[in-house]
Structure formats: structure tokens, C-alpha cells
Structure 1
Amino acid sequence: MDVAALRALTPAVIGVLVHRGADFASAEDAVQEASVQAATTWAEGAPADPKGWLVTVAWRKFLDAHRAEKARRDREDRFAAQPEPDTVVGVDDTLQLFFLCAHPSLGPAAAVALTLRAVGGLSTRQIAEAYLVPEKTMAQRISRAKRTVRDVRFDAPGDVRTVRRVLYLVFNEGYTGDVDLAAEAIRLTRQLATLSNDEETAGLLALMLLHHARRSARTGTDGQLIPLAEQDRSRWDTTLIAEGVRILQAALARDRLGEFQAQAAIAALHADATRVEETDWVQIVEWYDELLALTDSAVVRLNRAVAIGEADGPVAGLAALAEVDPAVPRHTAAAAYLHERAGDLLVAAELYAEAAEKASSIPERHHLTMQAARIRAT
């Protein structure tokens, strides 16, 4: 049985049940139950019409779950006499399901969980393991999310920008448990790009592909963090890079620049350099200028300062960094790097040690501690 293919059918089947009269929460539960049954029933091979099979089983499970309620019995009578459709097209329904799961009334964590469950077709257990929380906690989070959007019209206009933000959050979680969330985010973003056909979603997809291409080179055999400048570029996935660049170029040609396109352009310039010395830092600074104009983000200002340090020298980089709020994450680490480039080794060592204390992850803390120790040993 192709598990990925089964998961890909989930949003379309939910859409069919909703159009037949099921509320979203009940439809999602019924489809999940049907998927569990399919995992067993299809062990020896999928039926000729997998989508039709899932619709039939899920609809029966929905009716069974609501047969005791009079209102649900009325709905059952109304729809039971209707013949099964020959096809169950789900393109528009899938896009609406994206919108529903990323509804503005939901917080980021709830939107991510609901998207992975309803659109991605992942089980509650898989999502819980991916986010390192108990399955019961994740089940409660998903149930609350479904209650929140229970009365939202399934065909109401949605905001693709919010969907992109949710998918970007999923991508940044990377890999935990038995689910590769980065790969799942790429799969869902491909789907969204096809459905929405807008250049900024294409830019997000390009950004994901370009970052994902460097994944195997980011960590050493013992899990240590390897910064971009020190990565073995022969380990980068050139196929993903080529695809990302191709998608980005097509998006940029539409001349409606967005922040994900600008981020992808920066990632593409890094990917284009076969050696770190070949990096076009001047053009990267220009793209950071574009990105800053779009977002006015403190994090972008920080990254731009580091890029200026590479393009125009560490003194210029430190001057740009002085204009960034010191409370911005990784500000101290950036200052340490630029001071080291400027030859202020004592200051750099102290700043690396300070940055290590502020690090948000163990690999990052270890890397910064080693940087401080390296300088002190010279």
C-alpha cells in the first residue's frame, strides 16, 4: 500500500463529505477512521478506485456516528438516496481546506496541527511525535482547533498568505519522529502552488527546495552544526537546487516580488557558489535591501549586517549591526563573528561565549562554545 498516495487523497475526500452535508470536524474524523481501515484492507493491494472507496467508507462512518441524532438522521435520509458520484474531484475543495486549516482564528500551533492532519493526512500520533508532545496533548489541540472552525463556511474566501506562513512553520521544524516535516511541507507547498498559481507561493516552494538541498551537509556525523561557509558543497543536492532556481526564475519573471521570492533569491545566490569565496555578497546585500523594504524585519536587518560585513568588510558590518536591536536572536553571535573578522579576538571570544549561553538549541550552543574555545586557544 502506498501510504503517501493514501494521505494525498485525504483533503479531497473530506471535501466530498462536507459537500454532502457533514460538518468539517465530523468529516475529518470519519476520513481518518476510513484511512486507518484502508491501511489494513489495502495491505494486499489498493482497490481500483481508491478515492471512491474512501468516500464510501468515510461516509458510512459519518452516518454511523450520527445516526442517533435526529438532525443527523434527517441529513442521512436526504443524502442516502443520492447515487455515488462517478468521480470525486477535490482540487477546489483542497484549496478551501488549506484556507480553513489556516483560519485567522487559529493560533500557529493549532493551524499547523490541523493542516498536517486534515490536508496532510497524518495521524495524531505522527504529528505528536513530530512535535515531541504526548499524543493526548496533540489530540486535544486538534479537537480545539476543529471546534474553533466548526462554523466557518467551507466555501468562504481564504487567505493564501496565512497558508504560506503555516507551511513555512512546518518546514522549519525539519525532521523529528517518523515524519519528515520538511519533506511534508514541500509536498503540501507543491500542492498549494498548483492550486493557487501565484508567484509568492512559487517563491516559498523555491526557498524550501534550495534550503532542503543543503540539508545533508548541515550536520556532521556526531550531530554537530556545520555553518554554511564550512559545508561540503559536493553533498548539496544539485537536482533540488536546479528545480528551485527554475521555479524562482519563473516567479520573478512575473514582476510581483514578495518576501519569499526575495529570500529564495538569496538562497539561490548561496547555492550558485561552488566555493564560499565565490559567493556574490554584493548582490546578496541588494536582495536583503529588497527584503527589508518588504518586511522591515529586525531579523532581516541582522542578516543584512552580516552580508555587508562580507561584501564591504567587518567594520562596515559592525556599523550596520549597531543599528539592529541587540535583543534580536543571534545578535551576539553575529557580533562575535564580525569582531573575529575584524581581528578583535578577545572581544570575539567573549561574545561567542555569551552567545552560547543564549543559544536556543544544543547543537548551536555547542558550536558557539567551540568557537570561543578555538579563539582562546590561538
Structure 2
Amino acid sequence: MELDNRKQKILKAIIEEYTRTGEPVGSKRIAALLDITASPATIRNDMAALFEMGLLEQPHTSAGRVPSHMGYRYYIDHLMQPSPISPMEMASIEAMFNVRDPDPDKLLSDAAQALADYTHCATISSTSTPPEVFVKRIQLIPAAERTVIIMVIASNGSVKSRVCRVDFQVTQNICEFFTSFANDRLAGRSLKEISDAYINSVAFAFGDYTEVFTTLLSAIYSLCKEINDGQFCAKGTTNLLSYDEMKDFSKDLVLLLSQKQKAIDLIPDGNYEVKVSVGKENSSMELSNSTVVVAKFNIGSSRCGTLALIGPVRMEYPKLIPHIEYFAKMLGELLSETMEEQHLN
């Protein structure tokens, strides 16, 4: 779709004014905003042409126009000029990530919450686990007479634990024996290798103790699977309830975002750095009046991290896109550093 220079300026002005005010924009307002030698009648004619092309809509019989989803798409692809992040904003984001020995789960949660608070939108942070991640250590910790804590620590910094009731008297000697035995057979193996069949083979190797330790081995298998399945966090979902233009689907969308797999399915497939899906470009009906902005990032050598922003189509794209890119960059760098440190230790 080709637009001449004046129509591009008019469309850009309408979108940016509507994004700022939420009100339909008329030709007189455009004439006041733009430094072009054109009469209000000429601007009205151009606005009518943009309307015929599907780039503008007329919500009611007033003279004002609002951008359509197609108009926003054209704006993002051809007219938008990203606003650079200020040094103060960079410092503020970097301060959030300036932590020692970060826990990956908490890091993803904090990043998603900070981005949701900044944008007043919903956010999703998720990771898939790189194939090179392995079990670093298994630890069995006595908790009570017949209760232990089983802990799995992975090479990417992920730590998962579970409280288990057991059918034997817990002693320090038993915990040390199990920890040593489990580490001999599991530490150093990739998470993908820790299958149900492999755990059964480890159980068989316990000999007479097989039945005694079945519960613990089953817990290890579950914890390894949790780490291998990756991390997921959704924050700021109730922010969506405050947008009038999303009221038809916002409650359904909030419910959808509370379900891990359905929320992840909302994110477009593909190997990209940043992708913006506007309105009906999204695959889900619940997103038909929303925009999804997704930034992907590397953890180590694998592009397996995702940070997504979900909000109204009337977003301040020039500001929000650079921010989500910077958030994703910092998140990926810190998670990569954490994984590298775990490899070296």
C-alpha cells in the first residue's frame, strides 16, 4: 500500500494524537498539528481517502476519525520513529537487574512485574530450557522424623525442591548415602536424559533399597521435568480490565493468561527479535482488540527467552517497543551470566 508524503503525515498525526487522547481526531486539529501547506478541505479529502483505504475508521457521525488496526500496522511498519531510552531510564532498568547470585525464577517474575507496572499492560515472561543444561547436583536434606526435602540444582541456575514424606526413619547417614548415590548417576546428565525409563534404571540399581527410595526418585524426575519445561510468569493481568476498548474480552483474556500453556500459545511462533501483532493478526479471539509485543532473547547460545507485552491497540509504540527490547536484553544477559557461572562452579 503506497501513501504520498502528505497522507503519511496525516495518518501519523492522527495515530499519535488518538494514542495520546483516546478521542476521534478532526481535520482542524490535524491542520493545527501539522506544518503543511494544505487547507482543512484538502486534509478532509485525504482523511476520506485514508478511510476508504481502511486505515482510518469513523466511530460515529462526527467529523473525527480514529486509526483502524490496519492503520496502526502501517504506522508501525512505515511511520513510527522509536523514542530512545534515556540514560536515566536505562540506569533504572539496570538497577533492577543488579543483583548477586540471582534466582532465575524470581528474576523472570520481577522483570515481568516491573514491565507491567511501567506499561500498565499485562506481561508474560517465559523461557524454554537450552539442550545443554544438565543436572549439577542432587541434595537430600532431613526435615523431620519421616520428612525430607529433595533439591535439584541445574547448570542454568534453576533450583527446584519438594518436601517428601518417606516410609523410613530419616537419619543424616541415610541422607548422605542417597545424595551420594543419586549424584553418581544423575549429576552431569542433561535434563532431557532424565527420563522415566532412566529413573527406573537408577531405582533398579539401588537393589534392596529400590522400594524404599522410589518416592524420592519419582520426585527427582518431576523436578527435572519442571526445570526442563522452562519457566513462565504472567503479571499485571488485571491492568487489562481498566481499558474501555478491551472490555468485551478483557475478563476472558485475564482468565486465559492464568493458564500457562494457553498463555504461551498466544505468543507468535518464529525466530525473531521483536514482533508486534495488532488486533486480528493475533490467533486468539480474546486478542482481537489487543496488541501483543514480543521480544525474544538469548540465554547462552540459544534463543529461548521470551518477554511479551499485552495491551490495547492504542499503545505508545515508539516508547514501549524500545523499553521491552532493553528489558529483554538485560534479562538475557543476566540469565546467560548465571548459567555460565554455574558451569564454572
Same fold (TM over 0.5): no
Larger relative contact order (Cα-Cα within 8 Å, sequence gap ≥ 6): 2
The answer to which structure has the higher helix fraction is: 1
